[in-house]
Structure 1
Amino acid sequence: MSAFQLHNLTENVPDSLAGGVVAIGNFDGVHRGHQVVLGRALNEARKAGVPALALSFEPHPRTLFKPQSPVFRLTAEQDKAGIVEAFGMDGLLTLPFTKELAGTEAEAFVTDILRGRAAASHLVTGFNFHFGKGRAGSPEFLQEVGQRDGFGVTTVEAEEEGGDAISSSRIRRQLGAGDVAAAADLLGYRWRVGGTVVKGAQLGRTLGYPTANLALAENCRLAHGIYAVRLRRADGSLHDGVASFGRRPTFDNGAPLLETFVFDFSDDLYGERIEVSLFEHLRGEEKFDSAEALVEQMDRDSEAARKALAAATPLSNLDERLSFDRNV
């Protein structure tokens, strides 16, 4: 197959992606349950010698219907594309989720979008996937239309952990509690965020701890605290570090930032897109009586992060590619 492709499904897919096996879903987080759906699509595609594609929606449907309370996104579109590519898929199709799309009849959604614009030869969905006006479309509906019109449909059952289905909502709750290890178990990889490094107040430099700062989405509900992390640069190289996510209560109690101190590193990262994988929650955010007391704690945090990262092992092949493969 050719290089991984991103395609906005407002237009027909290019010829290089036509006839593919298409896995459909929101795929927010691309967790282990999603990966079963993607894996089935990948297997079907490889057997047939056609592209393996994921089809997702932007924005998240819940954000469209409840803009006053936008959903905490586990993976922004660009981050999702990187994970889907690392999983082995050939492309990500993004379908703009609008009120017009939500009002599309189920039959038209299949005929015009899935079979038309996406040119799918086979569809793979989770057991609870519904679509079209009034959510009338269902896996059973897809099976019926597939038998009638001559295309394949595969439905994947829920993936469970601890007796409950793996879901993006579970993972959001775990991240909100700072339990990045439990979230990683359900994701099958260390949760990661991406973005462009911005300038902060540069307080870290005065303390001997210069940081690469990311302004995360306003609806990010990650617990404020200190984390052992691994940072991937735009050139693909990986670097260990320790990060603080929060409002810097010792200094300004300002807008939340993810501030990453990279070990044994002196390059300038301003303006560069990076990805940060969170390995372990070390402690909650605290206010210190002095800068000196804060630096002493940061020294301890750095040592704890080094130990945690040195002991870490990949959770899966996907985790290895995302957070352990140091080949540039």
Structure 2
Amino acid sequence: MKLFRVIEGKTNRFATDNDSSHISASQLDSALSSETKPEAVVTIGNFDGVHRGHQAILELLVAEAKQQHAKATVVTFEPYPQEFFMKEKAAPRLSRFSEKWELLQNCGVEQLCSLKFCRRLSQMSPDDFVDEILVKLLNTKHLIIGDDFRFGRDRQGDYHFLQKSGKEKGFTVTHTPTLCDNNRRISSTLIREALRSGDIAQAQRLLGHPYRLIGRVKHGDKRGRTIGFPTANVALNRRVCALSGVFAVQATTPDGKILKGVANIGTRPTFNGENKQLEAHWFDFDGDLYGQKLKIDIIAKIREEQKFAGMDALIQQIKKDCENARKFC
């Protein structure tokens, strides 16, 4: 069973443990034992969406890592603890793992340690987490955490515990204050609320970057081209998507071409669809995108998804959606 994954650039390194009852420090350490491990400046969290609050922590992380001549390192979890405990009731993610890693790299993060969140990890004591993850696995020199950070079994570990442990284990600890927007703490939850309400501008302000979905264009039923609006069907590959409705969008292709258009994110109720997907019509474009991975930025919400009585009503609405979307693109 994979217990962790440490990523540096495009390098993936795995450790395995077949014992389902516990995590062994020696086994965790064995995957990196043959290498000289550089010292690390570390922060810990889900970093879902890599929003402005995260960016403030990452700015400190990268600056401290440069000063200490250490690797700027983020420790995160797969699945998120909330997903492990709440299952299908967990909130939708803002970013998939690959999207998050790209955002972290854009902020200067050099190394990502993804811990497999399972029963064993949830029951790990704060002392063991420090010993096995921070000290033996990552060779932590300095740790930066948010002011509300908790970890270990029953969330027993906190800043004061880490300060005490750091003095004993040879690393220092600092905590960062909460970043607020209009007296509200910037959080992934607040951003999901903005997306759910259709306030894309608010979501972008809290994120500090456009809300982006990344997916590969797949073959669909090709119905759009028969009504004059050819579409690209993009696989979302998400347990739950934080968005639903019709949006003005802008996409970047692998070769850097910018496409502007209108996209429906939903189940296509007019055609009795079941699975949520993104279906985009690109303005002034007549090319082949099949198999290409698109980075799609959500610009503005046009309307909610709805079911139409027939094709004529749908076509008329698509024309209106295109007119409205062009105002934002």
Under TM normalisation by the shorter chain, which class is it? 0.7 to 0.9
Compared CA separation, residues 87 and 240, structure 1 to 2 (3 A): farther
Q: 2: distance between equivalents of 1:89 and 1:120?
A: 15
Kept in 1, the 8 Å contact 2:135–2:169? The answer is no
Name the residue aligned to 1:4.
9
SS, match of residue 259 in structure 1: strand
Aligned counterpart for 1:50 among listed residues 59, 63, 70: 70
Q: 2: distance between equivalents of 1:151 and 1:271?
A: 47
Backbone CA RMSD of aligned residues:
2.3
Q: Displacement, 1:182?
A: 1.4
Kept in 2, the 8 Å contact 1:9–1:93? The answer is no
SS, match of residue 80 in structure 1: helix
Q: Displacement, 1:16?
A: 8.1
Please identify, of 228-237 and 179-188, the stretch whose mean Cα deviation from structure 2 is larger: 228-237
Name the residue aligned to 2:166.
146
Kept in 2, the 8 Å contact 1:4–1:89? The answer is no
Q: Displacement, 1:230?
A: 1.4
Alignment of 1:40-119 (within 5 A): 40-119=60-139
Alignment of 1:282-293 (within 5 A): 282-293=302-313
Letter in 2 for 1:47: Q
Q: 2: distance between equivalents of 1:135 and 1:106?
A: 8
Kept in 1, the 8 Å contact 2:234–2:279? The answer is yes
Name the residue aligned to 2:54.
34
Bigger radius of gyration: 2
TM-score by length of 2: 0.85
Please identify, of 300-309 and 256-265, the stretch whose mean Cα deviation from structure 2 is larger: 300-309
Name the residue aligned to 1:326.
none
Q: Displacement, 1:7?
A: 4.5
Compared CA separation, residues 7 and 25, structure 1 to 2 (3 A): farther
Name the residue aligned to 2:240.
219
Alignment of 1:129-140 (within 5 A): 129-140=149-160
Compared CA separation, residues 178 and 144, structure 1 to 2 (3 A): same
State, as a whole percentage, how many aligned pairs show the same letter.
37
SS, match of residue 197 in structure 1: strand
TM-score by length of 1: 0.86
Name the residue aligned to 1:320.
none
Q: Displacement, 1:245?
A: 1.0
Q: 1: distance between equivalents of 2:37 and 2:240?
A: 34
Matched, 1:295 2:328: no
Q: 2: distance between equivalents of 1:56 and 1:187?
A: 19
Matched, 1:182 2:202: yes
Matched, 1:203 2:223: yes
Kept in 2, the 8 Å contact 1:60–1:97? The answer is yes
Compared CA separation, residues 60 and 247, structure 1 to 2 (3 A): same
Please identify, of 21-30 and 9-18, the stretch whose mean Cα deviation from structure 2 is larger: 9-18
Point out the structure with the larger strand share.
2
Letter in 1 for 2:215: G
Q: 1: distance between equivalents of 2:249 and 2:208?
A: 16
Kept in 2, the 8 Å contact 1:129–1:138? The answer is yes
Name the residue aligned to 1:270.
290
Specify every segment of 5 or more residues in structure 1 that has no aligned partner in the other structure, as ranges: 310-328
CA deviations 1:81-109 (Å, max 9, x no partner) are 11111222223221111110111111111
Tell me the number of residue pairs that the alignment of Structure 1 and Structure 2 aligns. Answer: 307
